[in-house]
Amino acid sequence: MNRTLLIVDDNEDIRQQLKWGLSSEPYQLVFAQDVADALEKFRQASPQVVTLDLGLPPRTEDASQGFACLEELRKRAPASKIIVITGFESREYARRAVDMGAYDFFLKPIDLDELKVMVRRAFHLYDIEQESTSPKPVVGRKATPAGIVGESEQMREVMENVSKVAASDVPVLIQGESGTGKELIARAIHELSPRKAGPMVCINCGAVPENLIESEFFGHERGAFTGAVSTVRGKVEYADKGLLFLDEIGELPTNLQVKLLRFLQEMVFQRVGGRKNLEVNVRVVAATNIDIQEAMRAGTFREDLFYRIGVVTLKLPPLRERGQDVLLLAEHFLRKHGEGLGVKNKTFSKDALDALVRHSWPGNVRELENSVRRAVVMSTSSSITSADFGFEPVFAGDSVSAIPTVTTLKEARSMVEKQLVEAALSRSGGNIVKAAETLGISRPTFYDLLRKHGIDQ
């Protein structure tokens, strides 16, 4: 991608300073000195990132020219990231600019190292948004089925394994926490398989009342029980020549586990109240969020059934371990729900992006989608802030973060350590020296912490 940075500033000395200081950066530099010049250069160059001095001529106390330029640039290309630079003493101008849709703000005097970091992050976010708004979601920049979004190494490995198992009829067990997207993975297996023209039928084993679950699976004959006024086909029959997805199979009652095992061995069954053997041809994919090994030790899940359904096991990583996938998914859901709710051109503010990265996401992708949807509804400006997500805050000095979900003291310490490092990095604008000084540690130690917690500079 050809990257272009438009610098709008009426001060010739500052333009020369930035031209010299940013000359080694991997993008083309374009300069403008007033509103008309900025709009024309913007039209010609289509920059992904803009630095905009609010004090454009003719100068006024309310920076009207700068705000007018910002408003027009946002109208012409809402996806472009605009970093407002202001020399005004009050931060009110910066806050107002962010409310109008500016990506971030920078107060003069300009620190080139800090500005470089901010511009790099703006380009990075622009790239993420463009990938998430492409016609098909991507994993490793390759088209993926079932609407799966992700670029982390964990998801690359999952999708590679999906491609391997899809071509055969081998039973697959998908394991992962609630909300990690197990049904999406099952759907991806189906869409990539030779059975894709057939149906995919889902049964939530934990949602059907125990006295009805056998009928849900295998159907029933008329008169089989009180209220059975007609013959009803079960989900197994509807899945013939397709895929049967057994969600939350760990919740299946033990007595039905025996009948399911018998069915899986022969692909033959009888409806409840019936005597005729019926035969189907289905592929079975199951999923669970419980520890199956522990369930087998406890006697609540049959070992022979596990070995039947778990010929291949796929493990989905929780969202908190997927790194920058959080931002990629957030942008995907912002576009999806923004369009669905009739709200266009909303973006995430810097503090919103920080909150997304800091949150531990105990509900995983499902929680993230609901949080973004809430934020779209609750946001009253073009820029979504962290407050719009509705996270419960934890106050630590001048920082606010989402409450982490931890189970051990070691995990809690690691979480707090990571938050302190991220907060120091954010306050320093990415300046490692300043961030290390803030925490009272050396630069080598700070770099060690970045590597330990997988934090990108």
Give me the residue spans of the domains in the chain. Answer: 4-132, 153-316, 320-453
What is the predicted pLDDT for the residue at 413?
A: 65
Asked if the model's pLDDT at residue 340 lies above 90, the reply is no
From its phi and psi, is residue 342 left (phi > 0), alpha (psi between -120 and 50) or beta? Answer: left
Question: Where residue 140 falls among pLDDT bands split at 50, 70, 90?
Answer: very low
Mean pLDDT in residue range 75-85: 88
Does the predicted TM-score (pTM) go above 0.85? no
Among 136-140, 356-360, 440-444, where is mean pLDDT lowest?
A: 136-140
Question: Where residue 408 falls among pLDDT bands split at 50, 70, 90?
Answer: low
Question: Where residue 77 falls among pLDDT bands split at 50, 70, 90?
Answer: confident
d(CA 19, CA 30): 9
Q: Sign of the C-alpha dihedral, residues 303, 305, 309, 314?
A: negative
Among 27-31, 127-131, 196-200, 283-287, where is mean pLDDT lowest?
A: 127-131
Non-local CB neighbours of 202 within 8 Å, separated by 6+ positions: 183, 235, 245, 247
> What dihedral do alpha carbons 127, 128, 134, 137 form, nearest 10°?
140
d(CA 263, CA 390): 47
Q: What radius of gyration, in Å, describes the C-alpha atoms of the chain?
A: 28
Residues forming a β-bridge with 201: 244
Where are the strands (E) in 159-233, listed by range? 172-175, 200-204, 219-220, 232-233
Question: What letter would DSSP give residue 137?
Answer: -
What is the predicted pLDDT for the residue at 404?
A: 45
Asked if the model's pLDDT at residue 137 lies above 60, the reply is no
Answer yes or no: are the C-beta atoms of 394 and 412 closer than 8 Å: no
Question: Where residue 317 falls among pLDDT bands split at 50, 70, 90?
Answer: very high
Asked if the model's pLDDT at residue 125 lies above 90, the reply is no
Backbone phi and psi for residue 158, each to the nearest 5 degrees, phi listed first: -60, -50
Among 225-234, 349-358, 441-450, where is mean pLDDT lowest?
A: 441-450
Answer yes or no: are the C-beta atoms of 242 and 283 closer than 8 Å: yes
CA 452 to chain centre: 22
d(CA 214, CA 223): 15
Looking up tokens 């999952």 gives 158
Among 29-33, 78-82, 88-92, 225-229, where is mean pLDDT lowest?
A: 88-92
Q: Which CATH superfamily is domain 153-316 in?
A: P-loop containing nucleotide triphosphate hydrolases (3.40.50.300)
Backbone phi and psi for residue 272, each to the nearest 5 degrees, phi listed first: -60, 125
CA distances from 93 to 14, 42, 54, 67, 73 (A): 20, 23, 8, 9, 17
The CATH code belonging to domain 4-132 is 3.40.50.2300
What is the predicted pLDDT for the residue at 429?
A: 64
Question: Where residue 351 falls among pLDDT bands split at 50, 70, 90?
Answer: confident
Q: Output 22 or 391, whichever has higher pLDDT.
A: 22
The answer to whether 4-132 and 153-316 have equal CATH topology is: yes
Answer yes or no: are the C-beta atoms of 288 and 248 closer than 8 Å: yes
- For residue 196, give the 3-state DSSP assignment: coil
Asked if the model's pLDDT at residue 269 lies above 70, the reply is yes
What is the predicted pLDDT for the residue at 394?
A: 41
CATH architecture of 320-453: Orthogonal Bundle (1.10)
